[in-house]
Amino acid sequence: MRQPVPLAAALSLLLALGLVLAPGPGTAQAPRSGGVLVTSPLSATPSLSPHEESTIATVQQASPCFNNLVYYDPMKKVESVDTIIPELAEKWSWQDNYRNLVFFLRKDVKWHDGKPFTSQDVKYTFDMVRGAPDAKARLKVNPRKLWYEAVEAIEAPDAYTVVFRLKHPQPSLLLMLASGYSPVYPAHVPLAEFKNKCIGTGPFKLKDNKPGELVEYVRNPDYFVKGRPYLDGIKFVIIRDRSTQIAALQSGQLDVGGSGWNKTNAENAKNGAPKLTIVEADSNVNDNVLVNFKKAPFNDVRVRRAINLALDRKAYLIGPRQGAATFGGALLPRPAGMWGLPAAEVAKLPGMADPKQQKAEARKLLAEAGFTAANPLKMVVSTRALAIYVDTASWMVDQLEQVGVQATLEQIETGVWHPKMTRLEYQVALNLTGVGIDDPDAQLFENYHCGSQRNFSGYCSEEIDKLMAQQSQTLDRAKRLALVNEIDRKLQADGARPILGWGKQYYVHWPHVKNWAVHENSIYNVSRRQDVWLDK
Amino acid sequence: MRTYVAKRLAIAGVTLLGMSLLLFVLMRLAPGNITDIIFESAGYVDEADRHRLEAELGIDKPLVVQYGRWLGDLVRGELGKSYRYDLPAWEVIKPRLPVTLELAVLAMGFSVLLGVPFGVISAVRRGRPLDYALRVVSLAGLSMPAFWLAMVIILTLVRSVGWIPSMTYVSPFDDLRANLVQFLLPALAVGYRSSALIMRITRSTMLEVLREDYIRTAWAKGQREALVVWRHALKNASLPVVTLIGIEFAFLIGGLVVTETVFNLPGVARYLVDAIQFRDYPIVQNLAMLIAVVVVLANLAVDVLYTWLDPRIKYGSA
Amino acid sequence: MATIPAFDLAIPESLPAARSRRSALWHFVRKNPLGALGGVLMVALVVAALGADVLATHNPVRTSTHVLVPPGAEFWLGSDNLGRDLYSRIVHGSRISLAVGIASTLLGGVLGGLLGLLSGYVGGRTDLLLQRVMDVMQALPILVLALVLAAALGPSLTNTIFAISVVIVPRAARVVRASVLSIREFVYVESARALGVGHARVAFRHILPNTFGPFIVLVTAQLGGAILVEAALSFLGLGVPEPYPSWGRMLSIAAAEYAHKAPWLVIYPGLAISLAVFGTNLLGDALRDSLDPRLRGS
């Protein structure tokens, strides 16, 4: 009997099997279908209509239902024009030097109620959002109208082709259409229904909506991406109290938590349940200081600079931010963002250097402006009446007091905040800003353009407006970056809206949750969740 | 008797009317209205759009007109629409009622379960260490902020056992056991605090009753202490306790507000807080009126019960 | 003593001698150990409030980079997420709690007391009307009414005091009214009227002083309630705003964000509130027990 051969064969067979079965570093696990994912979003959403809201809560809880024309690849962490992938549009093409954008749509898409998706739906949606005079529907509130200002007309020459005709070139339009805030709505469903219901084309169908408590989705069996979604359903459970959220995650009632959490929350969660995984990333949400340009003495650049100098960014990092933030100018700095100022310049921004020196300089500037110990600057720092804002604002008040300013804190209730800001009824305010995409058109126009509705500081500079328009039409990326940086520098010098820091975002999940995408330069464009699967 | 009840009902009606006016005025006093809230979540304000929205919602009409309209709707049983969620108010409130009701009833149960025995024991062992100990424990419950107690409970649970009750509401009809487990701790937290009041009144009533002659006679006759206490004294002490349960209902609801928030129970009390924050007038007004109606009727029922049970008490005018 | 109500007394002509006062105090402590404990807690609260600047170790609003430090040598009760000393904040917070508590209780008590006096003395339609108004104010649970008021007026120190005092008014009115009703019929009041003494004088000089007893009991009892309501309002975001360190608000922020890592942020402010309210309740109970003859000996 020749035994060594069978033994060798057996061993080789085993070895071969081992190589095949053992997951090597390059081998990804094969996703499995099934399971319902339970998570706690940032807060309850006022409606399921992303076009009418500006809060991440809405995007989180409505994105599974919809699709865009194009979307950002969930698996690529830093969003840019290079990570845009098709969704409802199979192919697209810029024509005439970025003046016309043509989309060729998929032919196999159905709405959740069975009706077919056509170019009419696209035209309907974006005519509505851009406020076209002949739009078939009108949004009650329209926060992103100005994203589409350059659009002159939208044409649907046939059922599966859409053309956006622009007044002037705007390469950023494509990125705006890829944002979680730009889903396509069905033309045959009345707009009012989107408050509490959702008819989309997306990977999940709405199963149950208890406003303020729960939003539940079930898989869409007719989704046009075969094999997706992997999950049987998603459940968004609203838990208001942060420590209760953490406890719910630790005890396994949630698969994923962390929306709105800071570093300490994430660490606490993991301390109590070491198997949890923390995902940390930058985000395009920043804390900034609104200074009312229309109220004396804040129209004095020295006073503004003094305020900016007094706020020690390093202390901001440790206290209000618990050690997790990125410093930058008006746009998210690299490597997380695409358009920010280089690190060397960021390090020279007011508030970044030695605090003692900067506070002394602040005092000097205030004295020059006429404010001394005998005649201190008195001001009111306003902020929203929510715990995290109040904390940071309390910190601000303390920093200002250390340069001789007598500051008190005013808490403004949620409903009154934006009206007050819009009417410029404040002196200095602590604000949080998140813009849908990491793009200068969105960021700059919304926050710094003369007369923009979200330009709460009343800042207005013709020169900057001109530069903004110029960069919007600049096609060469390097040239555009240079322009954007120049604008950023000027904004910082003017103290247009001092940025305290760009926050980090956290997600904490159990290891069985796979493909929970997180992007570095936006929180708004990953919530489709069609690639998420549960390994259990 | 009937005239008495009728008179009390009339008075209750007037009270509720006054309440409605107070609520209406207060909500309108608050700066910002629902359109501000709607724009809030959109992140900007456009005055032209806002006026249009106000007209749509009917809140640009003069206040008197709005008040009249609201009262008219109420009388007809029309509770209007939630501004925030654009759903009929009743549809939003209805699923939340059983949650709060269950919590209130369970909490009430706990407060009686804890309060009455504590009160009795404390009265019987008056002056002894047990009396003081029970009074301290009971009063401690009354002194703790309800939300603090709730938070400490959750924190301790998670740190020691790694488990907390479900944060998603489980209906008793779906799974009774899970539902009771979910409600056990919050009901205990609220009930413990309320039990102090019951304990106090039980104790003082028992003390009075224990001094009565017929009790002394029973003692002297040698009847067993426990029998004496439970049969004679408790029966007579029960009347004020019943009264107190009615009055205490109002006190209980306050505790429910924060407890529902911390334990994440989707009840009306928590929803009221949300609605106030979001200036959802129809919800605030109707919910607050509902609570007021419940409180007023509870007081009325208790007073009627009291009169009926104890004819020695005469209720004259005012 | 049972037939004469507890408060039918003329203002004493002379103060008791010092020794008998001291022994009276000792007597009180012996008979009411719990009340004495309450008294001690209240005294501690007042001392903390008055001496906050001296007793605190740090500036309560000064932030630092030593965040979430556990209790130890530098931060006796630990530091919070902005690096502020918790002990100093709690000590200063006693000022707010006490100030809000006392101010709202006095305001509500005095206002309610006057209304109760009016209602009880004048009687008739005025009484009926005022009674209904009081009913309306009591139809809502305390916290709900305070919530609606605070939302209507906005979060500020004065608005919080106002909102809580509104809640106290009907309770004070009820107590004083009951007292007035029982005193009104007394012979000496009638004889004062017969002698031609004006209504106002009778009301204020003869009747009002006799309501002090129950009034004091009420005030002490409501003080604890006021502190709790302020804490609850602050927890819900509607109470006293920064920069005043308020115990209730310390709990709301700490609870939401850092409870797991820094439990001291939750434990100590809550303990402070509980002890303060506990003290007022004990003291109030003891006062009521000793001033109300029906319960004397209980």
- The pair of structure tokens assigned to A499 is 């940025």
Note the pLDDT of residue B247.
63
- Asked if B145 lies within 8 A of C273 by C-beta distance, the reply is yes
CA C105 to chain centre: 5
Which residues does chain C have within 8 Å of residue B140's beta carbon, measured at their own beta carbons?
A: 274, 278
Contacting chains of A (3 CB pairs or more, <8 Å) are B, C
B·C CB contacts under 8 A: 148
**What distance in Å separates the CA atoms of residue A170 and residue A101, rounded to the nearest whole number?**
10
Q: What angle do CA B32, B34, B39 make, to 5 degrees?
A: 85
| Interface membership of B190 toward C (CB under 8 Å) | no
- Asked if A319 lies within 8 A of C155 by C-beta distance, the reply is no
- Closest-CA distance of chain A to residue B178, Å: 14
Helix, strand or coil, per DSSP, at residue A407: strand
- The pair of structure tokens assigned to B20 is 């409605």
Rg (CA), chain C: 22
- Asked if C270 lies within 8 A of B295 by C-beta distance, the reply is no
| Interface membership of B302 toward C (CB under 8 Å) | no
Question: Is cis: bond before A511, omega within 30 of 0?
Answer: no
Which residues does chain A have within 8 Å of residue C155's beta carbon, measured at their own beta carbons?
A: 385, 411, 413
Note the pLDDT of residue B317.
35
Q: What is the pLDDT of residues C83-96, one digit of tens each?
A: 899 999 999 999 88
Which residues does chain A have within 8 Å of residue B87's beta carbon, measured at their own beta carbons?
A: 196, 211
| Interface membership of A410 toward C (CB under 8 Å) | yes
Q: Please, which residues have CB within 8 angstroms of residue A91's CB and are 6 or more apart in sequence?
A: A103, A104
3-state secondary structure C230-287: HHHHHHCCCCCCCCCCCHHHHHHHHHHHHCCCCCHHHHHHHHHHHHHHHHHHHHHHHH
**What distance in Å separates the CA atoms of residue A314 and residue B174, rounded to the nearest whole number?**
53
Q: Which residues pair with A410 in a beta bridge?
A: A382
Task: Identify which of A435, A33, A425, A403 has the alpha carbon closest to the alpha carbon of residue A223.
Answer: A33
Report in angstroms the alpha-carbon separations of C123 from B160, C131, C213: 60, 10, 22
Nearest chain C residue to A315 by CA distance is C65
**C265 in Cβ contact with C198 (< 8 Å):** no
- Asked if C261 lies within 8 A of A264 by C-beta distance, the reply is yes
- Asked if B318 lies within 8 A of C128 by C-beta distance, the reply is yes
- Asked if C235 lies within 8 A of B292 by C-beta distance, the reply is no
Q: Which residue has tokens 């928030």?
A: B261
- Asked if B44 lies within 8 A of A422 by C-beta distance, the reply is yes
3-state secondary structure A26-67: CCCCCCCCCCEEEECCCCCCCCCCHHHCCCHHHHHHHHHHCC
**What distance in Å separates the CA atoms of residue A118 and residue B62, rounded to the nearest whole number?**
46
Q: How many CA atoms lie within 13 A of A114 on its CB side?
A: 0
Contacting chains of B (3 CB pairs or more, <8 Å) are A, C
Nearest chain B residue to A52 by CA distance is B42
Out of A262, A319, A411, name the one closest to residue C83 (CB).
A319
Out of A268, A320, A401, name the one closest to residue C82 (CB).
A320
Nearest chain B residue to C267 by CA distance is B152
- Asked if A265 lies within 8 A of C257 by C-beta distance, the reply is yes
Nearest chain B residue to C178 by CA distance is B318
The DSSP letter of residue C85 is B
First to last CA, chain C: 16
- Asked if C65 lies within 8 A of A318 by C-beta distance, the reply is yes
**What distance in Å separates the CA atoms of residue C97 and residue C247, rounded to the nearest whole number?**
7
pLDDT in tens, chain A (536 residues): 444 445 555 555 555 554 444 444 444 678 999 999 999 999 888 899 999 988 899 999 999 999 999 999 999 999 999 999 999 999 999 999 899 999 999 999 999 999 999 999 999 999 999 999 989 888 888 889 989 999 999 999 999 999 999 999 999 999 999 999 999 999 999 998 998 999 999 999 999 998 888 999 999 999 999 999 999 999 999 988 787 888 889 989 999 999 988 888 899 899 889 999 999 999 999 999 999 999 889 989 999 999 999 999 999 999 888 889 999 999 999 888 899 999 999 999 999 999 999 999 999 999 999 998 889 999 999 998 777 788 899 899 999 999 999 988 888 876 678 878 888 999 999 999 988 899 999 999 999 999 888 899 999 999 999 999 999 999 999 999 999 999 999 999 988 899 999 999 999 999 999 999 999 999 999 999 999 999 98
- Closest-CA distance of chain A to residue B67, Å: 22
The DSSP letter of residue C210 is G
**What distance in Å separates the CA atoms of residue A284 and residue A446, rounded to the nearest whole number?**
14
The H-assigned helical ranges of B125-233 are: 129-143, 146-160, 176-211, 213-220, 225-227
Intervals of chain B under pLDDT 70: 1, 32, 41, 213-248, 250, 306-318
pLDDT at C296 over 70: no
Q: Which residue has tokens 């998706």?
A: A117
- The pair of structure tokens assigned to B311 is 């004819």
**What distance in Å separates the CA atoms of residue A418 and residue A11, rounded to the nearest whole number?**
72
How many residues can be counted in chain C? 298
Task: Identify which of B43, C205, B142, C3 has the alpha carbon closest to the alpha carbon of residue A59.
Answer: B43
Interface of A with C in 233-252 (CB under 8 A): 241-243, 246
Out of A241, A269, A393, name the one closest to residue C256 (CB).
A241
Strands A214-219 and A233-237: antiparallel
Note the pLDDT of residue B215.
65
Q: How many CA atoms lie within 13 A of A325 on its CB side?
A: 23
pLDDT at C245 over 60: yes
- The pair of structure tokens assigned to A115 is 């009706």
ipTM metric: 0.76
Note the pLDDT of residue C1.
30
Contacting chains of C (3 CB pairs or more, <8 Å) are A, B
Out of C68, C237, C258, name the one closest to residue A385 (CB).
C237
Interface of B with C in 247-266 (CB under 8 A): 250-255, 257-258, 261
Q: Torsions phi, psi of A412, nearest 5?
A: -110, 130
**What distance in Å separates the CA atoms of residue B157 and residue A518, rounded to the nearest whole number?**
32
- Closest-CA distance of chain C to residue A347, Å: 20
Which residues does chain B have within 8 Å of residue C275's beta carbon, measured at their own beta carbons?
A: 143
- Closest-CA distance of chain A to residue B261, Å: 7
- The pair of structure tokens assigned to C79 is 């530091």
**What distance in Å separates the CA atoms of residue A474 and residue A476, rounded to the nearest whole number?**
6
Task: Identify which of A505, A246, A509 has the alpha carbon closest to the alpha carbon of residue B162.
Answer: A246
For C155-207, strand residue ranges (E) read none
Q: How many CA atoms lie within 13 A of A506 on its CB side?
A: 23
**What distance in Å separates the CA atoms of residue C163 and residue C239, rounded to the nearest whole number?**
10
- Other Cβ atoms less than 10 A from the Cβ of B258: the count is 26
- Closest-CA distance of chain C to residue B145, Å: 6
- Closest-CA distance of chain B to residue A314, Å: 29
Nearest chain B residue to C295 by CA distance is B204
**What distance in Å separates the CA atoms of residue C228 and residue C273, rounded to the nearest whole number?**
7
CA A301 to chain centre: 31
Which residues does chain A have within 8 Å of residue C252's beta carbon, measured at their own beta carbons?
A: 387
- Asked if C285 lies within 8 A of B148 by C-beta distance, the reply is no
Nearest chain C residue to B140 by CA distance is C278
Which residues does chain A have within 8 Å of residue B262's beta carbon, measured at their own beta carbons?
A: 241, 244
- Closest-CA distance of chain C to residue B14, Å: 8
Side chain identity at C258, as an amino acid letter? Y
Side chain identity at C50, as an amino acid letter? L
- Closest-CA distance of chain B to residue A419, Å: 6
- Closest-CA distance of chain B to residue C168, Å: 14
- Asked if B155 lies within 8 A of C259 by C-beta distance, the reply is yes
Report in angstroms the alpha-carbon separations of C145 from A448, B29, C160, C165, C237: 43, 14, 12, 11, 15
The H-assigned helical ranges of A131-229 are: 172-177
